[in-house]
Amino acid sequence: MPQDNTLRIILPGKLIDGVSDKTQEGMAVAIRGSVIEWVGPASQADSLNSVGAQTETLDFSGGTLLAGLFDIHTHTNMPGDGRTGEQVNDDDTDEVRLLRSAQNTGLAVASGVTTMCDCGSWNRNAFALKEGLALGIVEGPRVLVSGPPLTVKLGHLWYMGGETVGVDAVRSRVVELVDQGADFIKVAASGGSTSTSDPYSAAYSVEELSAIVDEAHNRDRTVLAHCRCTDAINVALDAGVDTILHCAFYDNDGSYRFDQKTADRLAISEVWLNPTMGLGNANRERLIKIKAERELTPDEEDRLERSTVSGANSLAQFSALVTAGVKLVGGSDCGWSYYPFGDFQGEIMSLHKAGLSPLEAIYAGTRSPASALGNLDTIGTVETGKEADLLVVNGDPSQDLECLRDVVAVFKGGSRVATAKERAAPG
């Protein structure tokens, strides 16, 4: 491994810097230590070599260099093996869940994810993971954590330890989470897959959610709100949350209905939307594969049917929202259901299917999450002075997003990380 002051000059076939809104050829990127020191024409790279300085040239002429991927929505405690949150709560101890988080972060960074948000883990697990990463005990991306999501009594994810109700209580809880090390605040603004919750009703009042947002913003933290129904989306908009997760248009009776009024509100707002369509795709693909191998259980048949219907609704909804001009941000929700870590690329591809251009979909998985979390000054694009969180893939993903899965090299803070292919290689 080169010394920290070694100048490493990366020569990709193409560059997607996230700034110029186009793919560039004939470019070079120089990194020293953890920082991008220079970006410019490859023809000028030789002028960077100072007398006596140690240099290294990395030739990736067949590939494309871009910013490392940023997944805004993960659950590192979760296994992605089809078990529900309640099952993981009953089956596993906190110690086992923390070990799984360490495993999952390794899978993530090997796939090209250099930053991700943990949007809900049990008790203090996420804070312990963050500390382990900082100490170098655990390998993984930069992980931003929320701690246990705020939720109502027996609400979605209640078992993680975040049950909090009332204006004063939610304010106090936000302060406590920030003091513990929360980088952002996650709130279950509606129910979800948790059996004791109601996914078709808003969980918090506008007053409560506004208090959460106010307290978080006072401490320079953004708020990500899980919303599985139209009522919750509108409460989140009224309260001024920063990002809406899932953003599903379900009425109180559980029926799906595209709500034009809500769509119009979303289009003129500054809120980021995280569709998590890749999760539904992963669920369907896994259940279809299981069905080819054996007969599905009644529960699995129900999950496959619901996932198929909701997937069609989501694609139509977000295609319309893209046309309306909403801001989409990539977040896989991996760890949940049948979506294991290591393929955030699937979520990026789902955004393209909803109408984003390939470049726009790439930005939704790089610079947009950084912007949504307030980190764009240090990560998210390939620019001089930013952290050297970089990804090299074979081919040109601006022409074929499948190329994002063909990972050649990953750099996190200037240090090269073994890719999934390299880890799987014999010897």
Domain check: are 74 and 63 in the same one? Answer: no
Among candidates 378, 347, 377, which has minimal Cα distance to 364?
Answer: 347
Domain check: are 14 and 111 in the same one? Answer: no
Domain check: are 63 and 80 in the same one? Answer: no
| 353 domain residue, yes or no | no
| Tally of CB atoms within 10 A around 417 | 20
Distance of CA 412 to the CA centre of its chain: 16
| 295 domain residue, yes or no | yes
Beta bridge partners of 272: 243, 327
Distances (CA, A) of 237 to 263, 264, 314: 11, 12, 19
Domain check: are 48 and 91 in the same one? Answer: no
| 60 domain residue, yes or no | yes
According to the 3-state scheme, what is the secondary structure of 146-187? CCCCEECCCCCCHHHCCECCCHHHHHHHHHHHHHHCCCCEEE
| 385 domain residue, yes or no | yes
> SS3 of 391, please?
strand
| 116 domain residue, yes or no | yes
Domain check: are 145 and 91 in the same one? Answer: yes
Backbone angles phi, psi at 10, to 5 degrees: -100, 125
Among candidates 176, 112, 142, 76, which has minimal Cα distance to 345?
Answer: 112
Domain check: are 391 and 272 in the same one? Answer: no
| Tally of CB atoms within 10 A around 113 | 31
Which domain covers residue 155, as residue numbers? 69-343
Residue finishing a domain among 343, 359, 390: 343
| One-letter amino acid for residue 229 of the chain | C
Distances (CA, A) of 115 to 140, 399, 401: 9, 24, 19
Q: What is the CATH number of the domain that holds 395?
A: 2.30.40.10
The set of residues, in sequence order, having a beta carbon less than 8 Å from that of 223 and lying 6+ positions away, is 184, 185, 186, 187, 212, 213, 216, 217, 241, 242, 243
Please state whether beta strands 407-412 and 415-417 pair in parallel, antiparallel, or not at all (unpaired).
antiparallel
Can you list the positions of beta strands (E) in 371-414? Answer: 390-394, 407-412
pTM: 0.97
Domain check: are 187 and 284 in the same one? Answer: yes
pLDDT for 50: 66
| One-letter amino acid for residue 9 of the chain | I
Half-sphere exposure of 145 (CA within 13 A, CB side): 28
Domain check: are 59 and 125 in the same one? Answer: no
Residue finishing a domain among 317, 343, 369: 343
| 16 domain residue, yes or no | yes
What average pLDDT values come out for the chain (427 residues) when binned by 10 residues? 76 97 96 97 86 85 98 99 97 98 98 99 98 97 99 99 99 99 99 98 99 99 99 99 98 98 98 97 94 94 93 97 98 97 98 98 99 98 99 98 98 97 87
Count how many domains the chain has.
2
| 56 domain residue, yes or no | yes
| One-letter amino acid for residue 32 of the chain | R
Domain check: are 137 and 199 in the same one? Answer: yes
Domain check: are 318 and 188 in the same one? Answer: yes
pLDDT for 386: 99
| 317 domain residue, yes or no | yes
Domain check: are 275 and 417 in the same one? Answer: no
pLDDT for 52: 62
Q: What is the DSSP string of 12-41?
A: EEEEE-SSSSS-EESEEEEEETTEEEEEEE
Domain check: are 263 and 387 in the same one? Answer: no
The set of residues, in sequence order, having a beta carbon less than 8 Å from that of 416 and lying 6+ positions away, is 1, 409, 410
Residue finishing a domain among 290, 316, 343: 343
Tokens for 223, please give them: 């708020």
Q: What is the CATH number of the domain that holds 77?
A: 3.20.20.140
